[in-house]
Amino acid sequence: YCSLNPRWVGRQLAAAKSSSHRWKRVESRTIRSRQMSEDRKMEDNFEKIRVVGRGAFGVCWLCKKRGDETGEKVIIKMIPLHGLSQKEENEIKGEADLLRKMQHPMIIGYYDYFTCEGSIAIVMQYAEGGTLENLIRDQRGLHLSEANVLKYFTQILLGLEYMHSLSIVHRDLKTQNILLNRKRTLIKLSDFGVSKQLNTRSVASTLIGTPNYLSPEMVEGRTYNQKSDIWALGCVLYELFMLRRAFDGENLPAIVMKITKQQYAPLGNHVSKESRDLVSKILSGNENTRPTVKDILTCPLILSYTLTVVLDTGRIMGNAADKRRAPFDRAGLRSRTGSDSISGSASSTMATGLRMQNIMASQSTRSTSFSTASTVAAATVRKG
C-alpha cells in the first residue's frame, strides 16, 4: 500500500480477515493525514474513465489499470466514510466480506479494496455486456428464444444456489443487478450491498429491495428467508419471457396490491406449458409452497440445461483465468481472491457438473443416451 505505514496496513488486513471484527470508526484527522499517500495510490494504479452508476452509498467508476497492456477495465466502487454511522460502516464491511467469501463463476469478481479520498474503494470485475435490463431493452419487443431464456435462468439459479449454500439472502435480485459478459453469454450476480447473511435459525424482517420484485411476505412486513429470493427469481424469469415486469403499476400501492394478490398478465403463447407452470410455482403467494433453488434445478425442464451451462461456463472461465490474474500481478496489487478464486470457481463448476450427473443418473425416466451424455459432460468438466 505504497507509503502507508506497514504496521497500520497489517492491522487493517488482519481485521478484514476476521469475521467477528468490527471496524472502528475512521477519524477525520486520520483520513486527512493519510489522504495524500492514498490518493497517489489511486492515481498511480488506476485511470478514471467515467461514472457508470450511483447508489445509496456512493459512486461507481469505470477505470483502467495503468501499465496494463491488455487494457482490461475494472469497476471501482467509491464509498464515502465521512458522516457514516457505525451501522453503515459495518454494512460496507459486510459487502466486502461477502464479495471476498463468494467465489463462483456466476458471482461478480472481487479484486481488492483500499482507502482513498476519504472513501473505501472496492475494486471489482467489469461486466462489459451491461445488465440483463439492458439486454431486455435492446430486444425492442422481439422475444428471446425460450432456450436462451432458460440458459440465462439456469445461470442465475446456479449463482443463487451458491449464495444460499452460504446462508446468504440477496434481497435485491432484479434484472438491473444481473450483469453480462461482453458476448452476453455469461451472467454475474452483483450488488450485495443489501444482502443479509443468516444463520440456520434466523429470518430477516427489514423491508429492502426494488418494489417490483418484492415478495408478498416482504410487502406485508412478515419474516422471510431465501424464499423471497426465489420470488424475485420468478419475476426475473417472467421479465425475460415477456420483456416487461410481472408486477408494475402507476404507484407503489398499485404495485403492492398486485403482488399481494399475485396479479400478473398471463405468459404469451410463445412460452411452453412447462415454463408457464414453472413461473406459476415460483410466484406462489405462499412461501412454504414456493420451490427452493435445488427443487428448480432438479426439475426436468431445467435439468436438461444445467450441464450445457456448466460446460459453457467452464470453458469461458478457463479462457479468462490468466487474463484476470496477470494485470494485478503486473500492477503489484494482490487480488484478494487470486488464484484461489479461480480454483474455487473451477471447483464449483466441476462440483455442479458431478452433482447434476448423479441427479440425472437417478432419474429412472431419463433415457440411457441422456445419462451417457451427462457422464461425458461431467468428465469434460473434470478435465477443464
Distance CA 330, CA 305 (A): 38
Tens of pLDDT, residues 201-252: 445 555 555 789 999 998 888 877 789 999 999 999 999 999 999 999 999 8
Residue 65 annotated as binding? Answer: no
Lowest mean pLDDT among 146-155, 178-187, 289-298, 332-341: 332-341
Whose cell is 503486473? That residue is: 330
Residue 180 reports pLDDT greater than 80: yes
* 359 in the same domain as 284: no
286 shares its domain with 160: yes
- Give the CATH number for residue 214: 1.10.510.10
Do 196 and 225 form a contact (C-beta atoms < 8 A)? no
Q: How far is CA 278 from CA 149, 274, 302, 328, 365, in A?
A: 13, 6, 10, 43, 20
Look at residues 66, 23, 26 and name the one whose alpha carbon lies nearest to residue 46: 66
Residues 206 and 324 in one domain: no
- 202 and 81 in a common domain: no
Residue 288 lies in a domain: yes
Q: pLDDT per residue over 241-280, tens digit each?
A: 999 999 999 998 999 999 999 999 999 999 999 999 999 9
Is 172 an active-site residue? yes
pLDDT (tens digit per residue) in 303-354: 988 888 887 776 655 555 545 444 444 444 444 443 344 344 445 544 555 5
Number of domains making up the chain? 3
Do 173 and 263 belong to one domain? Answer: yes
Provide the domain limits for residue 169. 132-297
User: For residue 242, which of 209, 283, 210 has the smallest C-alpha distance?
Assistant: 283
**Domain end among 297, 323, 350:** 297
Q: Which of 97, 112, 172, 229 is catalytic?
A: 172
pTM of the model: 0.71
